[in-house]
């Protein structure tokens, strides 16, 4: 039940990791095959979000992907403002704050009752705004944002929209080109069922040419194998945001996991995770637990956050009862996925209610 934090290992991902380890063991080095696999991971991520591989950059974390985008932007020309939603995972906000020394000034859109309202984006975004940073769903409450509506507000003011999709990607369909976002980043270890160490960022076609990231490396060049130390040229697509040697083992795992999710079907996964999320929040309320964030199911992502002051102690106690949940701040998060059953949800809620009742 903790896919909002780390998805479980599967036979598919274990076999993918073994394929790399076998290749390394048997061949010693098989660089071409390994790099080809990282390209397949890029293609798979692109396919998952309805995009082209050339519009996707590889990173090792969302932090790094965000920093590549942020340091590639220009905060001059009267557009120095970065509007950051209070629902961003701290790492993303930290990267924007670090741009202050390059001329950026950061303003915040508040979280109210576990959600961020469109009128607050309207108030914060103006013609001084270079970029707006808004996640698809808030890691703390499970609140799902309306990316399209935020994009309209940002674009009307001439600003770009950066979206961190980590808390939802893999839990249902997401089509980057029609989402309104200009950048979409995600790591692999949550609903994408992969491991830490790899992340991806999609760049709207035509935008990459404007970026000159200060975080760079040989894989960001037009020909990484030119070995010309003095020449800082830029790959002509999103690959210019690539940096050093790619995360190969992680790419094996991520590609296999994403191919598997696509084979199952993101529409079917989305319908099931929405059904289970609803069962989670309805079931929590029926057990007199407090669900954080909006009650409207259309404003909720796949994760249900339940208020719990001693969340880490309760997480450990649930683990002893055979339920893997995720403590975050003053909440226990339940994040079932396509493989979860209604019985899993009910069992987790029963265990949580019993554990919290015992502590009341
Ligand atoms: C929405 C979101 N963004 C970013 C991160 C972390 O990003 P990274 O550790 O890959 O930089 C997390 C959680 O780990 C998250 O939930």
Instruction: For the chain, 360 residues long, give each residue's pLDDT as a single digit of tens.
Output: 999 999 999 999 999 999 999 999 999 999 999 999 999 999 999 999 999 999 999 999 999 999 999 999 999 999 999 999 999 999 999 999 999 999 999 999 999 999 999 999 999 999 999 999 999 999 999 999 999 999 999 999 999 999 999 999 999 999 999 999 999 999 999 999 999 999 999 999 999 999 999 999 999 999 999 999 999 999 999 999 999 999 999 999 999 999 999 999 999 999 999 999 999 999 999 999 999 999 999 999 999 999 999 999 999 999 999 999 999 999 999 999 999 999 999 999 999 999 999 888
Helix 31-48 vs helix 11-27: crossing angle, to nearest 10: 160
Asked whether 292 lines ligand 1 (CB < 6 A), one says no
Could you tell me if 12 and 245 are in contact, meaning their C-beta atoms sit under 8 angstroms apart? Answer: no
Q: Which atom of ligand 1 is nearest to the CA of 61?
A: 10
Q: Considering only CA atoms, give the Rg of the chain.
A: 21
Ligand 1 centre distance from Cα of residue 196 (Å): 10
Cβ of 187 less than 6 Å from ligand 1: yes
Sequential DSSP letters for 312-328: HHHHHHHHHTT---EEE
DSSP string, 236-268: SSGGGG--SS--HHHHHHHHHHHHHHHHH-HHH
Two tokens, residue 319: 């683990």
Beta strands 105-109 and 81-85 are: parallel
Rounded to whole angstroms, the Cα distance separating 248 from 253 reads: 9
pTM (two decimals) = 0.97
- Which residue minimizes the CA distance to atom 7 of ligand 1? 62
DSSP per-residue letters across 7-20: PPP-HHHHHHHHHH
- Neighbouring-strand partners of residue 333: 305, 326
Dist CA 117 CA 106 (whole Å): 18
Measured from the Cα of 166, ligand 1's closest atom is 1
Quickly tell me which residue has 């082209």 as its tokens: 52
Which residues does 67 contact at the CB level (< 8 Å), separation at least 6?
Answer: 95, 98, 213, 215
């Amino acid at each position: 039940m903790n896919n909002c934090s780390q998805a479980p290992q599967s036979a598919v991902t274990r076999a993918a990791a073994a394929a790399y380890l076998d290749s390394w063991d048997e061949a010693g080095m098989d660089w071409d095959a390994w790099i080809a696999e990282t390209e397949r991971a890029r293609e798979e991520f692109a396919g998952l979000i309805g995009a082209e591989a050339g519009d996707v950059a590889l990173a090792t974390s969302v932090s790094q992907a965000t920093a590549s985008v942020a340091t590639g932007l220009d905060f001059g020309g009267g557009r120095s403002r970065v509007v950051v939603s209070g629902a961003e995972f701290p790492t993303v906000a930290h990267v924007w704050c670090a741009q202050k020394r390059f001329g950026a000034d950061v303003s915040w859109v508040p979280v109210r009752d576990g959600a961020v309202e469109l009128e607050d984006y309207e108030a914060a975004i103006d013609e001084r705004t270079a970029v707006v940073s808004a996640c698809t769903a808030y890691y703390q409450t499970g609140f799902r944002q309306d990316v399209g509506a935020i994009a309209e507000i940002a674009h009307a003011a001439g600003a770009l929209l950066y979206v961190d999709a980590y808390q939802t990607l893999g839990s249902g369909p997401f089509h980057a080109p029609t989402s309104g976002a200009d950048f979409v980043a995600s790591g692999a270890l949550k609903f994408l069922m992969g491991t830490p160490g790899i992340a991806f960022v999609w760049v709207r076609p035509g935008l990459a040419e404007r970026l000159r990231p200060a975080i760079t490396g040989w894989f960001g060049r037009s020909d990484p194998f030119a070995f010309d130390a003095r020449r800082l040229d830029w790959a002509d697509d999103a690959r210019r945001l690539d940096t050093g040697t790619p995360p190969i083992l992680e790419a094996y795992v991520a590609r296999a996991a994403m191919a598997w999710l696509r084979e199952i079907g993101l529409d079917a996964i989305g319908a099931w995770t929405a059904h289970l999320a609803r069962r989670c929040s309805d079931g929590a309320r029926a057990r007199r637990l407090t669900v954080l964030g909006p009650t409207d199911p259309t404003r909720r992502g796949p994760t249900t956050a339940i208020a719990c002051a001693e969340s880490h102690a309760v997480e450990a106690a649930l683990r002893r009862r055979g339920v893997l949940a995720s403590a975050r701040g003053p909440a226990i998060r339940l994040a079932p996925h396509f493989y979860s059953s209604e019985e899993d949800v009910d069992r987790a809620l029963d265990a949580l209610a019993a554990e919290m009742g015992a502590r009341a």
